[in-house]
Every structure is written in structure tokens, then in C-alpha cells.
Structure 1
Amino acid sequence: MKKQQLVLVSIALTVFVLLYFFGNTIPPKKAVPETGQAQHDDHQSISFDDLLKQAKTRISPEQNERLLKLENSVKRGDVKEQQLHLYHQLARFWYDSVRLFEPYAYYTGEAAKLENSEKSLTFAAHQFLDRMMDARDPALQNWLATNAKVLFEKALALNPANDSSRIGLGACYLFGNISENPMQGILPVREIAEKHPDNLFAQKILALGGKKSGQFDKAIERFKIIVQKDPGNLEALFNLAECYEEKGDNANAVKWYEQVRKLVVVPEAQKEIDKRITELKK
């Protein structure tokens, strides 16, 4: 692996570790079977207008002036092409100049809808999905999942055989607070995992679903499949350790935290892992 790649991997691992140890990493236990009852959190609705209004309070007067010019730039003529170009410009504005994810993702998604290609739709959908999996606010989760769902559905209309899009859509139902029946998400993903056990994306979604519902044995089984195929998968290793910790199996929790410790090179992260291991050994 090239030196630049090693640096990027190291940074990614460090960010992951810090998110786990300084964030709320273990969701509240819910006695909900992987195959059964509804998991629908009450939440307030949120709209893009709300998010955009809030985002605009974080930009400078100069940025606001530039944004107004962009928003008013569509004129008569080939409106679709102009709108597509505008969405790309707005996405770049929020990503490059302001570094805010929600408006960037929204305009990327709107551009993808106009392009209506599987590549653009799935790219935009996974942007929303990845952020949804890390979000903690139920209203934001719902907004992210709703946008991802629409994009995945449009992509599947173009290519119904795309397993990644089917899994992504299932994850929206499982984790996005968009349905009172999570079975809508579980069944298609399980079908793919049973047909293609090596599909680690499917295994990951089912494992996280088991962890969320408090079915740690099922989650552990699936996370181990991932680790067997991908021994350096830091997310799976962390989740294995946490599942064992939640079960009260401290010996196995320590075992897997020690595996994580081997992959982390940043001193601050190492200290947090060592602290967790020490506490579990008491």
C-alpha cells in the first residue's frame, strides 16, 4: 500500500475510533425481534426548507450574495439543463465553500433525479444512507432516509437486480424511522444475505439490525462473518466488542477490543481503547 493510502486509512480509522468512544455508540436496548415487531420512533418532521433556513444563518454576507445569484440564475429556455447545472453548482457551493452536508446532499440528489442514471441515483442515495447510519436525531434520520428511499427506488426502477440498492432501501426502513413495519427492510436484505453470504453489505445491515434490537447473539454471528472475510474491518470489530460488552461477556469484549487496538495508531484513540479494556478486566 502506498504511503498516501496508509495515511488516509489511518485518518479514517482514527475518526471512526473517536466517534465510537466520544459519541453515543450503543443505542438503547429494545426488546424487538429481528423478524417481528415494529420499531418506529416518534419524531417531529423536518423539511429541507427548515434545514436550508438554518444553513443560511451560518454563511457570510458575501456567501449569501453569491447564493442568491445562483438560486435566481434559471431563465427561460432549456430549463431542465439549466436546472441540472444549477443543482450541481449549489451542491458544490455547500460542499466546497460552506462544508455543510445536508444542502450538499439535497442538491446532489435533485441533480441525480434530473439525470436519471443509475450511477448518479445510487451515488446520491448512498450519500444520504451513510449519513443516516451515523445520525442520532430521529427527525434528521427520517429526512435522510426519506431522501435515500426515493433515490434507491428510482435506481431500482432502472435496474431491479442491483442488490446494493435493494439493501440500501432495506436499511432505510430498518434505521430511518420511515415505517412502522421494519420487516419491509429486513426481508429483502435477508434474502440477499442467504443467497449471497459473501455480500458483506447485507451482513452488516442485518448485524446492525440485530444489535439495535438487542439480539446480540444474532448480531455477533453476522459481524463474525464480516471479520472472517475482512479481518481489518474496524467497524465490524468495534461492533463485535460492543455486542459482547452489552451481553456482559467481558472476556470476549476485551478480546475484540484488543483486535481494534492493533489497528489504531493514534495515541489518543489508543488511550481510550486501553481505558475501556482496563474497565472490562476489573
Structure 2
Amino acid sequence: MNKQQLILIGSGVGLFCLIYFFGQTIPPKSTTPPPAEAGAPGNKPETIDIKAILASSKEQLTPSQQSYISQLESAVVRGDIKEQQIKVYKQMAAFWRDSAHLLLPYAYYSGMASKLENSEKSLTFAAHYFLEGLRQQPNPALKTWMAGEAKEMFEKALAINPDNDSTKIGLGSCYLFGNISENPMQGIQMIREVADRDTTNMFAQFMLGLGGLQSGQFDKAIERLIKVVAKEPKNVEAVIALAESYERKGDKENAVKWYTNSKQFFTEKEILQEIDARIAQLKK
């Protein structure tokens, strides 16, 4: 997989844009039966072994790259000064992003550095990075792990600045999309608190719109997403989510309108062909 945006089109009933990719870093599955779907009574989602993922990621490196990252790993263990550990974690994160082009290890080490640094800026940057990734992550266990990481950092950031609405929305979104609670309403309530107090907060409107789409409340999703695209007409994910909401509601005319609108954001031939095929299907 090379370093580029990965666009997944036509996934079942909609179009989704994956802004972040995480590489082939998931170790091979065991021969044990797959777990029941998350959220089913009495069942727990499969857990992620991040150390196994990092080890699998290292196997994809060249010998010289493996030697370099091993030196950095040793430096973290030896470092007894927090500032030195933060520096090494950032070096490791930069390596995985810029040289290895595997963004799951990058996200992990960025998060480790942020937790040690414990500044609102670094914590929220890393937390939002995880949040963006988990919303588009198809692997349930990895999604839950990412949500847990984001949740921890959002909570640390809120302890520093309890009045940051973006952080509150981010934390609520972890519950809403990350399968870390049996009660998703816990997350919705956090986001609604901001949306009800500040109706101009488009991040809150967007998350609630996506939540409505996810739960099948298409009228509510459309109401929220219409507000977002009116204020942020270049928000491609909001445009596509709005088109999908109309499609799943059965409003083919408006679905065609917004899928057509989304074409302006893409130049890739394959994506445009897929959108055209979707539009043609809706016009039948």
C-alpha cells in the first residue's frame, strides 16, 4: 500500500472516505471461532494486542529500518527523563509516518508522546487523529481500541481545560462511534449539550448527523447535515453522508442531487465512475 488517501466507494448502502490508512499491520487471525458481533448481550468484542501489531509492522521494514527503530525503542526504555522520552516517541512517530508510511504505529507513538507531554494542544491533536481514524475503521476490535485511546486523551485534555467544546464533542463521539459503552446515548448527550447551547457549532451538528445516519434516524441525520453543508459546502464527508441519508430514507431525487454535488471533490476516474453508477441506479 503506498502513501495516499484510500477511498472506499460503494460500501453497501453508501460512500465513505477514508482519510487515514493504517497499513497491513493486523497480525493473522487465530483459528478460534470469530467473536459474536459487538454489542450482543453477553458478548465482548475481540481485543487488540498493540504490541503484536507493532511487531507485525516492524516485519514490513527493511533491515536498516528495523535496526533504526530498535535503537529508538531501546532509547525509550533507557530514558529516565520525561522530556527525553517524549523526544524519542516523537522521533518514532515521525519515522512511521514519513519513512515507513504506516499510520497506526504513527498514531500510537504520537499518543504516547502526547500523554507524557500532557498539554491540551498535543492531547487534543492526537485524540482527534484517533477519532477520525476510528470512524472509518472497519475492524471492530481496532475501532474499539482506537476509541479507548482517544477517550483517554480527550479526558486528560478536559481535565486541563473543561470548557473546550471541541474536546467535549470528541469525547462524546468516542462513545457514539467506538463501541466502548453499552449506552451510546452517553455520547450523544455530551454532544447535544454543546449543540443545544451553541447551534452554530458545526462539529457538534456533524457528529450528531453521522450518529443519526448510523442509527437509522434519517430525518434527524438530514436535518443536522443540511446545516453543516450550508455552512461548510466543501465538507465532502458531510455531503456524502447527506446523500446517503437521503438514499437510505428512499428520497431518490435528493440523493441524486447530493451524490452529483459530491463529484466536484474528486478527480479519480474510478471514484467518479462509481458515483455515476450509483446515480444511474437511483434514477431507475
TM-score tier (shorter): 0.7 to 0.9
Give the distance between the partners of 2:93 and 2:265, measured in 1 at CA: 35
What is the aligned residue count? 256
Q: Any conservation in 2 of the 1:47–1:143 contact (CA below 8 Å)?
A: no
Aligned counterpart, 2:29: none
Give the distance between the partners of 1:118 and 1:135, measured in 2 at CA: 25
Query: How big is each residue's C-alpha offset from its partner over 1:170-198, in whole Å with a ceiling of 9 and x where there is no partner?
Result: 00001101111112101010111111111
* SS state at 2:61 partner: coil
* SS state at 1:231 partner: coil
Q: Any conservation in 1 of the 2:13–2:248 contact (CA below 8 Å)?
A: no
Query: Percent same amino acid at aligned positions?
Result: 52
Give the distance between the partners of 2:85 and 2:266, measured in 1 at CA: 45
Give, in angstroms, the shift of residue 20 of structure 1. Answer: 3.2
Give the distance between the partners of 1:74 and 1:264, measured in 2 at CA: 42
TM-score normalised according to structure 1 size: 0.84
1:20 to 9, 14, 21: 9
Give the distance between the partners of 1:81 and 1:133, measured in 2 at CA: 32
Give, in angstroms, the shift of residue 81 of structure 1. Answer: 2.1
Give, in angstroms, the shift of residue 262 of structure 1. Answer: 3.9
Aligned counterpart, 1:271: 273
Give, in angstroms, the shift of residue 245 of structure 1. Answer: 1.0
Q: Which stretch of the first structure deviates more once superposed, 55-64 or 201-210?
A: 55-64
Q: Which stretch of the first structure deviates more once superposed, 101-110 or 269-278?
A: 269-278
Aligned counterpart, 1:157: 159
Aligned counterpart, 2:168: 166
Query: How big is each residue's C-alpha offset from its partner over 1:94-135, in whole Å with a ceiling of 9 and x where there is no partner?
Result: 111211111111111111111111001101111111111110
Does 1:95 pair with 2:97? yes
Q: Which has the higher contact order (CA 8 A, sep 6+)?
A: 1
Paired amino acid for 2:90? H
Give the distance between the partners of 2:78 and 2:241, measured in 1 at CA: 53
Aligned counterpart, 1:58: 60
Does 1:145 pair with 2:144? no
Give the distance between the partners of 1:47 and 1:249, measured in 2 at CA: 43
Aligned counterpart, 1:34: none
1:246 to 232, 245, 248: 248
Q: How does 1:54-203 map to 2 (within 5 A)?
A: 54-74=56-76, 78-203=80-205
Structure 1 unpaired stretches of 5+: 1-11, 28-38
Q: Any conservation in 1 of the 2:76–2:89 contact (CA below 8 Å)?
A: no
Structure number with higher helix proportion = 1
Give the distance between the partners of 2:265 and 2:112, measured in 1 at CA: 39
Q: Which stretch of the first structure deviates more once superposed, 83-92 or 259-268?
A: 259-268
Q: Which stretch of the first structure deviates more once superposed, 165-174 or 93-102?
A: 93-102
Aligned counterpart, 2:22: none
Give the distance between the partners of 1:196 and 1:148, measured in 2 at CA: 24
* SS state at 1:168 partner: helix
Q: How does 1:222-233 map to 2 (within 5 A)?
A: 222-233=224-235
Q: Any conservation in 2 of the 1:261–1:270 contact (CA below 8 Å)?
A: yes
Give, in angstroms, the shift of residue 69 of structure 1. Answer: 1.2
Give the distance between the partners of 2:94 and 2:265, measured in 1 at CA: 34
* SS state at 1:278 partner: helix
Give, in angstroms, the shift of residue 263 of structure 1. Answer: 4.1
* SS state at 2:47 partner: coil
Q: Any conservation in 1 of the 2:114–2:122 contact (CA below 8 Å)?
A: yes
Give the distance between the partners of 2:213 and 2:119, measured in 1 at CA: 34
* SS state at 2:8 partner: helix
Query: How big is each residue's C-alpha offset from its partner over 1:41-91, in whole Å with a ceiling of 9 and x where there is no partner?
Result: 652000221211221221122111111111112476752122111111111
Give, in angstroms, the shift of residue 239 of structure 1. Answer: 1.1
* SS state at 1:84 partner: helix
Q: Any conservation in 2 of the 1:109–1:121 contact (CA below 8 Å)?
A: yes
Give, in angstroms, the shift of residue 232 of structure 1. Answer: 2.5
Paired amino acid for 1:205? M
Does 1:44 pair with 2:33? no
Shift in alpha-carbon separation, 1:194–1:61, aligned structure 2, 3 A: same
Give, in angstroms, the shift of residue 231 of structure 1. Answer: 2.1
